[in-house]
Structure 1
Amino acid sequence: MKPYRPEPFTDFSDTENHEALAASIRLVQGELGREYPLIIGGRRIMTEDTFNSINPSNSSQIIGTMSKANAQLAEQAIQSAGETFQVWSQTPVRERARLLFKAAAILRRRKHEFNAWLMLEAGKPRAEADADTAEAIDFMEYYGRQMIEMSETASSKLVWMNGEDNDLQYIPLGVGVVIPPWNFPLAIMAGMTTAAVVAGNTVVLKPASATPVVAFKFIELMEEAGMPAGVAQFLPGSGSEIGDFLVTHKLTRFISFTGSREVGQRIFELSAKSAPGQIWLKRFVGELGGKDAIVVDGEADLEAAARAIVSSAFGYSGQKCSACSRAIVHHKVYDAVLERCIELTANLTAGDVLDFGNYTGPVIDRSAYNKISGYMETGASEGRLMLGGGKADTPGYFIQPAIFADLGPDSVLMQEEIFGPILAFCKAGSFDEALDIANNTDYGLTGAVFSTNPSHLEAARSRFHVGNLYINRKCTGAIVGVHPFGGFNMSGTDSKAGGPDYLLQFTQLKLISEQL
């Protein structure tokens, strides 16, 4: 088996790649407005109750009309997954892994098509869409190999004992509920789903309401790769109607969730309670966001720091759990770094992602637009608006990247996850104080430090309490297998997606000992 290597990003300066993406966009535009069913046990089910997926770059354009599940259909989905588990869990590991490898090969061939769906439904610029698709490929390639290695090496870790044959096996858990986010609607959704599936589980996938078409297209792709009916149910619907039902169902064995802290905490609480007839403790695998900071020391490459701050803060309009929303800068270089970040940000444009000249696109929907606008007002009362914040007079949800200066460590903009293109600058009197400010949140997902002082870097390694710490580079852009991803505190369960331990979340160890 070939070793895993990260999927390369597409070079869109190459005319062939540029034209291939443009052709795929035209192809996808011809499919807009279609109606999409639920998928339960392989059956397509259309419902009278529906909702529309909207293009955030053009809110008058419907990407697709999605059937909406109710509790009765959710029960059918759970039962279908439970029945299929009896067979799928006994399927050989290499056969399950082969499904992922085939799906990755198909996605690689159809990369531009999925890029186009991501651009239109999620509002991703083409480079961000391409990175999303590449990461989905990476997850499948990596988890397939990881599951094979786990299954074939488990027993080798046991201590030998004379007179006994001891065997250690990773076995699947059962039926899982997968609730992915809208901001990485292909990569994270695919990673969460296929990790559970390759481990031998069956799943009910409840896609993000803002990006259900991308999820449907991926399930179709998995079917094309040979996924048996019932291994993954596709079940869009409202959290109030089917979300709690799925989480609390007695047949649900685990819940894999990526999203907001508030929703994640509620799911965690519900999953801890036993339903009548439930015979296990449910597992919760959660990634709940961040309030990430880049710390700039008084001794640092200021140009590299400024570029990393701007890239981390405003890529995909700051709609990443790893985005830099706080720049904590030593007082000696504060003005210089702030000024350079303003210069770089002034050159960024927010607009329709089909115009490849725009740096970033819209925020995801009207609710996000209004929420971010509220933070703009808060920021104006807490600090100084140095740049941006303007709203386009178009049918899309565009907000120009904004920088606020002179924020206090305990201010709202320094504490709350905004999930939008707002960057807060805070001045630190010393490097130690900068680390204190960086740790002064409920979260602990990603962070970065720019310094040329070896003792300061060592202090950051030990004191900066985040799951992913980056030194002299940006705090976004984790690569599967290279940067296992997951955070501390209220950022989640530190499950480290794309890492060597991730599949342990979806398996349980069984020891079989025979006396000879």
Structure 2
Amino acid sequence: MTQKGRKKTASVASLNTVNLLKTNGKAKKSAAKPAATAKPASKKTAALKPASNSKPASNSSAKVSPQKKSPAKASPAKASGESLYGFPPYENERFTDFAGDAKAAREYEAGLEKARAEFGEEYPSIIAGEKVFRNEKLKSVNPSRHAEIIGLFQKNGTQDAKAAVEAAAAAFETWKNVPAPQRAKVLVKAAALMRKRKHEFSAVMTLEVAKNWAEADADTAEAIDFLEFYAREAMRYAEPQPIVASPDWMGETNEAFFIPLGVVAVLPPWNFPLAILAGMTTAAIVTGNTVVLKPSPDAMRIAYKFFELMDEAGLPNGVLNFLTGGADVGETMVEHPKTRMIAFTGSKAVGLHINEMAAKMEPGQKWIKRVIAEMGGKDAIIVDSEADLDLAAAGVSASAFGFSGQKCSACSRAIIDEKVYDEFISKLLERAVKIKVDEAATNPDMSAVSGKRAFRKIAEYIELGKLQGRLILGGKSDMSKGYFIEPTIFADVDANARIA
């Protein structure tokens, strides 16, 4: 429907749908732009020897900063990389041009074959370096072919979660005293190993969460960036930080020192299952903290592959513990009195629940817990009458339908000046109808959504959209083989509609 009042709306639906809204252009003008990014651990102890003059770290303060945003734009990294401990200057990992690099394309295909050869294998949980197996198992499946089982994982429970936190707390007593340069070297070694096998990591994501080659390659590149960047930043923050410069005649110097907190519970999402996981986990570890990691049930295989990488890079037992399970495991990790911090990326509802739980003091808890929670977004692109409509249509299409729109930065609504509304819709449709949808391994423009729950939620949302807007593209779904939903666009959406 088209609203007759001052503002009109259309919509590019949520996830892989777009809702288009029409405006009379009286708002502040803007160019088209987004409004809103199995070998087990060997028997190791914390063998990275603490410096003889290092001071024991207390639990009163820390520098742990797991940010989702790419470290590419952070300014201090290059300077610190040049000046500290002999690491080369920081540089972003380059994306792979598969169209122009036949060798890389062959390596990616080989990575897919290697991952397929491992289908159906069982993987343990790891607590203090020990393998843990349970009677009940969790399945990770290929969203493009849901009959294919990526791997079997342990259904851990609350007792496992408690044991993992205790193991991390015990390892912290040694790890906190390991000098920052030695901790950083573990990350740099892990980055080198991941860079050498980057197409293997990317291929696992293609099969486990249905990312096409470019999306998966970017995910792996960002994970490498986090490893390299946080290694350098940890050394910078290990140095005394000046606070206020005092005049010489006052005879005093003020400095701040960052020290580790303790056990960090890391709860990453499935949509950036390597980059965000790596960022949150390694930011904690390289600054002297220890981690209990519970990945999303939709992305357990890539998480275990990351655990194996950190183990190979020399991380001592207990510094990183790996669990798989349901909400009861995550809640136990959050509530445990020895958990000092929670790093979470996911839904608003779960993020608020975590904040609520973390705010409650548990028996035996000494410190107030800290929470870093990145939650969902509802993003718009505004197209005014002076915008380059071809560029705007390209931007909306790429933002809305890249990775099936399954990211917090995806465009789920476009607000368009009524003067160019019809022309913009025509250009958007011209692009959207060309989007190739297929199994992720074939490297299409768009593939399956993450799983059955996401499929049903999106399908229900599309049915609602048919009542609240004019369906001009897509709307069909099919889960007979994989969890596939067509690119979907609704026009003439009222600004107050639920899908707007």
TM-score, with length taken from structure 2: 0.81
1:260: how far off? 0.6
1:3: how far off? 2.1
Q: Separation in 2 of the partners of 1:153 and 1:380?
A: 59
8 Å Cα contact 2:246/2:252 also seen in 1: no
8 Å Cα contact 2:246/2:253 also seen in 1: no
Structure 1 residues without counterparts, runs of 5 or longer: 415-516
- Partner residue of 2:33? none
8 Å Cα contact 1:349/1:400 also seen in 2: no
What is the total number of aligned residue pairs between the two structures?
412
- Partner residue of 2:416? 329
1:353: how far off? 1.1
> After the TM superposition, which residues 44-55 of structure 1 pair with which residues of structure 2 at under 5 Å, given as runs?
44-55=131-142
Q: Separation in 1 of the partners of 2:253 and 2:393?
A: 59
- Partner residue of 1:386? 472
- Partner residue of 1:229? 317
- Partner residue of 2:292? 204
What's the CA shift string for 1:227-278, capped at 9, x where partnerless?
1111110011110x22221111110111100001111111111111100111
8 Å Cα contact 2:193/2:309 also seen in 1: yes
8 Å Cα contact 1:52/1:63 also seen in 2: yes
8 Å Cα contact 2:240/2:255 also seen in 1: no
1:165: how far off? 5.4
Q: Separation in 1 of the partners of 2:243 and 2:370?
A: 27
Matched, 1:251 2:301: no
Which of 331, 335, 344 does residue 431 from structure 2 map onto?
A: 344
> After the TM superposition, which residues 297-312 of structure 1 pair with which residues of structure 2 at under 5 Å, given as runs?
297-312=384-399
Equivalent position SS for 1:361 = coil
Equivalent position SS for 1:221 = helix
8 Å Cα contact 1:52/1:64 also seen in 2: yes
* 1:238/1:393 CA distance change after superposition, 3 Å: closer
Equivalent position SS for 1:236 = coil
Q: Separation in 1 of the partners of 2:278 and 2:220?
A: 10
8 Å Cα contact 2:244/2:254 also seen in 1: no
1:160: how far off? 6.2
1:75: how far off? 1.2
Q: Separation in 2 of the partners of 1:393 and 1:6?
A: 38
What's the CA shift string for 1:449-489, capped at 9, x where partnerless?
xxxxxxxxxxxxxxxxxxxxxxxxxxxxxxxxxxxxxxxxx
- Partner residue of 2:162? 75
Matched to 1:142, the amino acid is: F
Q: Separation in 2 of the partners of 1:393 and 1:236?
A: 26
Matched to 1:197, the amino acid is: I
1:411: how far off? 1.1
Equivalent position SS for 2:477 = coil
Moved over 6 A (4+): none
Structure with greater contact order relative to length (CA < 8 Å, sep ≥ 6): 2
- Range that drifts further, 220-229 or 148-157: 148-157
Q: Separation in 2 of the partners of 1:191 and 1:106?
A: 16
Which of 140, 161, 171 does residue 227 from structure 2 map onto?
A: 140
1:393: how far off? 6.0
- Partner residue of 2:452? 366
Equivalent position SS for 2:119 = coil
Q: Separation in 2 of the partners of 1:87 and 1:290?
A: 39
1:98: how far off? 1.2
* 1:318/1:248 CA distance change after superposition, 3 Å: same
Equivalent position SS for 1:190 = helix
Matched, 1:282 2:282: no
Equivalent position SS for 2:216 = helix
8 Å Cα contact 1:155/1:169 also seen in 2: no
What's the CA shift string for 1:15-72, capped at 9, x where partnerless?
1111111111111111111001011111111111211001000010000000121111
- Partner residue of 1:63? 150
1:175: how far off? 0.5
What's the CA shift string for 1:94-146, capped at 9, x where partnerless?
11111111111110000010111000101110110101100100111111111
Q: Separation in 2 of the partners of 1:383 and 1:114?
A: 40
Which of 332, 351, 355 does residue 442 from structure 2 map onto?
A: 355
- Partner residue of 2:89? 3
Q: Separation in 1 of the partners of 2:307 and 2:441?
A: 25
Which of 155, 162, 175 does residue 88 from structure 1 map onto?
A: 175
Q: Separation in 1 of the partners of 2:129 and 2:246?
A: 44
- Partner residue of 2:82? none
Q: Separation in 2 of the partners of 1:157 and 1:104?
A: 36
Equivalent position SS for 1:48 = coil
Q: Separation in 2 of the partners of 1:280 and 1:334?
A: 55
- Range that drifts further, 369-378 or 2-11: 2-11
Equivalent position SS for 1:172 = coil
* 1:353/1:157 CA distance change after superposition, 3 Å: farther
8 Å Cα contact 2:240/2:257 also seen in 1: no
Q: Separation in 2 of the partners of 1:47 and 1:25?
A: 29
Equivalent position SS for 1:150 = helix
What's the CA shift string for 1:261-313, capped at 9, x where partnerless?
11111111111110011111111100011001111111111111110000000
8 Å Cα contact 1:350/1:400 also seen in 2: yes
Q: Separation in 1 of the partners of 2:111 and 2:459?
A: 34
TM-score, with length taken from structure 1: 0.78
1:224: how far off? 0.5
- Partner residue of 1:29? 116
> After the TM superposition, which residues 101-140 of structure 1 pair with which residues of structure 2 at under 5 Å, given as runs?
101-140=188-227
Q: Separation in 2 of the partners of 1:355 and 1:165?
A: 61
Equivalent position SS for 2:139 = strand
What's the CA shift string for 1:61-91, capped at 9, x where partnerless?
0000001211111111011000101111111
State the percentage of identical aligned residues: 47
Q: Separation in 2 of the partners of 1:355 and 1:249?
A: 44
Q: Separation in 2 of the partners of 1:160 and 1:107?
A: 48
Matched, 1:403 2:481: no
- Partner residue of 1:413? 499
8 Å Cα contact 1:176/1:253 also seen in 2: yes
Q: Separation in 2 of the partners of 1:57 and 1:169?
A: 49
1:394: how far off? 3.8
Q: Separation in 2 of the partners of 1:305 and 1:409?
A: 20
Which of 280, 286, 307 does residue 219 from structure 1 map onto?
A: 307
1:167: how far off? 3.9
Equivalent position SS for 1:267 = helix
8 Å Cα contact 2:138/2:154 also seen in 1: yes
Equivalent position SS for 1:79 = helix
Q: Separation in 1 of the partners of 2:282 and 2:244?
A: 26
1:166: how far off? 4.4
Q: Separation in 2 of the partners of 1:282 and 1:158?
A: 32
Q: Separation in 2 of the partners of 1:279 and 1:211?
A: 34
- Partner residue of 1:273? 360
Matched to 1:348, the amino acid is: I
- Partner residue of 1:424? none
Equivalent position SS for 2:475 = coil
Matched, 1:17 2:111: no
